[in-house]
Amino acid sequence: MNRKKIILKKDDIDILKESLSELEKGFKSLPSFKSVSGNKKRIQAVLKEAAQRLQNNFPYFHPLYAGQMLKPPHEIARLSYILAMWINPNNHALDGGRASSEMEKESVAGIAKMLGWKKHLGHLTSGGTMANLEALWIAGQINPGKKIIASSQSHYTHSRISNVLKLDYESVDCDESGRMNIGDLEVKLKKRNVGTVVVTIGTTAIGAVDPLEDILQLQKKYKFRIHADAAYGGYFTLATNLNPYIKRIYKLLPEVDSIVVDPHKHGLQPYGCGCILFRDPAVGKFYKHDSPYTYFSSDELHLGEISLECSRPGAAAVALWSTMKLFPLIKGGEYSLMLNASRKAAFSFYNKLKNDKRFLTGPKPELDIVTWVPLASTITEISLLSKRIFNECAKRNLYLALAELPIKFFNLKDKNIGLDKKTVTCLRSVLMKPEHNAWINPIWKILDEATKSSIRKVERK
């Protein structure tokens, strides 16, 4: 039998046609009209060229892409986003997207519930950066003239956003596991000029979870606001195979003042979907503005009244709503098992690396990110070898990531390595696809070959 190789899932387009006919039924009282859409042949030709241009990409959708924080949208999200494109609603105001605004409110309430909040104020954003910007913008208004502080492993966006908002920013050290160093935090808090501490629930580079337990204790003494950047790690609150430390942190998450979670990271959504949530709905007053040209249709909440961005894609809300309908955010449910699988994948990969004398692992994964270095005689040589292995893997269709991390993240003691640098270029894998767990052996096989070949090349020099 001549079986065709399928790389991209294309047959789901049939479901889209069916749902478009259903959508059309809602508008059947309108007279038909001829749209000014272009000539089909020319559209086809341009689309073909676009498809050819898009071949110039890493295969983010494939399990052999095991590098940066990239997870393909689920087909339900892809299809419902495209379905909504025929309407192209704008969730700024109810006039622009009545149904999709409702879907956004329901989805955001679902995320708040997942995090443990019965009451909240929140909305979707274009991504984690905008969501964090709103959190720090509110924080700056509640504690004017006071500092924002975050760990040296927090996302770079916090120092940059603070700069945009003209808020003072200071960075706190990390310990060897990449978590915020509580001793250094207290040194900073003693100066009594800190208004907000940003707690990262899953750092971008290694997935470390900051010690919220200790930070909440310090809050009692020093009084500050806590913002949790859970852009990457937020959904893991649903995983059932977390270690006891992480479990305790997720349990405490409802005690913070604001939380960012990005559905476009772990939530199976296409890009353009972040989410900001505030515990106290009264912060809505800081968003107050007058607009002479929108909000005509009702007294109900228009999402533009509680968001900094004006026009926003209703399609993002439709995609998220549909995904949450298919995969309810339930501990132990189908989606929760996908997160468990990512953690399992990270552990099984980490254990393989740990048991191989050629490598040294970074901190034990707290979520689903693994970091490691190949051993060599100096830090400079380790960094060069990491880059070589990265390239050799890519030649064999395995796509990893590189990261520059403090050497203290790797246990280099008694290894007889010349410590000629403070940071090292390491290899990094975010194993966030549900499929990754079944692909650890093929990934390992390629990494093994690529490492042997890289070491051979170094020895030949």
Ligand X SMILES: Cc1ncc(COP(=O)(O)O)c(C=O)c1O
| Binding footprint of ligand X on the chain (CB under 6 A) | 69, 127-129, 132, 155, 157, 200, 204, 229, 231-232, 262, 274
- Residue 435: exposure state from Cβ atoms within 10 A (0-12, 13-18, ≥19): middle
Q: Shortest approach of ligand X to residue 131 CB, angstroms?
A: 8
Q: Which of 399, 415, 423, 410 is nearest to 372 (CA)?
A: 410
Q: Which of 437, 334, 309, 312 is nearest to 76 (CA)?
A: 334
Q: Shortest approach of ligand X to residue 277 CB, angstroms?
A: 14
Strands (E), 175-325: 194-200, 225-229, 258-261, 274-278
In total, the chain counts a number of residues equal to 461
Q: Residue 92 or residue 155: which is nearer to ligand X going by CB? A: 155
Q: Which DSSP string do the residues of 19-81 spell out, in sequence order?
A: HHHHHHHTTTTSPP-------HHHHHHHHHHHHHHHTSS--TTSTTB-SSS--PPPHHHHHHH
Q: Shortest approach of ligand X to residue 157 CB, angstroms?
A: 5
Q: Shortest approach of ligand X to residue 154 CB, angstroms?
A: 7
Q: Which of 458, 446, 451, 448 is nearest to 378 (CA)?
A: 458
CA distance linking residue 317 with residue 332, whole number of Å: 24
Q: Shortest approach of ligand X to residue 311 CB, angstroms?
A: 18
Q: Shortest approach of ligand X to residue 62 CB, angstroms?
A: 20
Q: Residue 96 or residue 128: which is nearer to ligand X going by CB? A: 128
Q: Residue 97 or residue 128: which is nearer to ligand X going by CB? A: 128
CA distance linking residue 460 with residue 256, whole number of Å: 55
Q: Which of 303, 172, 207, 197 is nearest to 255 (CA)?
A: 197
Instruction: Round to the nearest angstrom and report the end-to-end CA distance of the chain.
Output: 49
Q: Which residue is associated with the tokens 């990005």?
A: 262
Q: Shortest approach of ligand X to residue 359 CB, angstroms?
A: 25
Q: Residue 272 or residue 284: which is nearer to ligand X going by CB? A: 272
Q: Shortest approach of ligand X to residue 401 CB, angstroms?
A: 12
Q: Residue 69 or residue 180: which is nearer to ligand X going by CB? A: 69
Q: Residue 97 or residue 267: which is nearer to ligand X going by CB? A: 267
Q: Shortest approach of ligand X to residue 202 CB, angstroms?
A: 6
Q: Residue 229 or residue 257: which is nearer to ligand X going by CB? A: 229
Q: Shortest approach of ligand X to residue 127 CB, angstroms?
A: 3
* Pairing assessment for the beta strands 369-374 and 169-172 based on DSSP bridges: unpaired
Residue whose CB is nearest to ligand X in the complex, by number: 128
Q: Residue 202 or residue 304: which is nearer to ligand X going by CB? A: 202
The amino acid at residue 143 is N
Q: Shortest approach of ligand X to residue 229 CB, angstroms?
A: 5
Structure tokens at 209: 């979870």
Contact predicate 233/207, CB 8 Å: yes
Q: Residue 201 or residue 239: which is nearer to ligand X going by CB? A: 201
Dihedral sign, Cα of residue 258, residue 264, residue 267, residue 270: positive
CA distance linking residue 171 with residue 181, whole number of Å: 11
Q: Residue 86 or residue 156: which is nearer to ligand X going by CB? A: 156
CA distance linking residue 125 with residue 311, whole number of Å: 10
Name the strand (E) or helix (H) holding 213: helix 212-222
Q: Which of 321, 314, 446 is nearest to 391 (CA)?
A: 446
Instruction: Provide the 10 A C-beta neighbour count for residue 35.
Output: 5
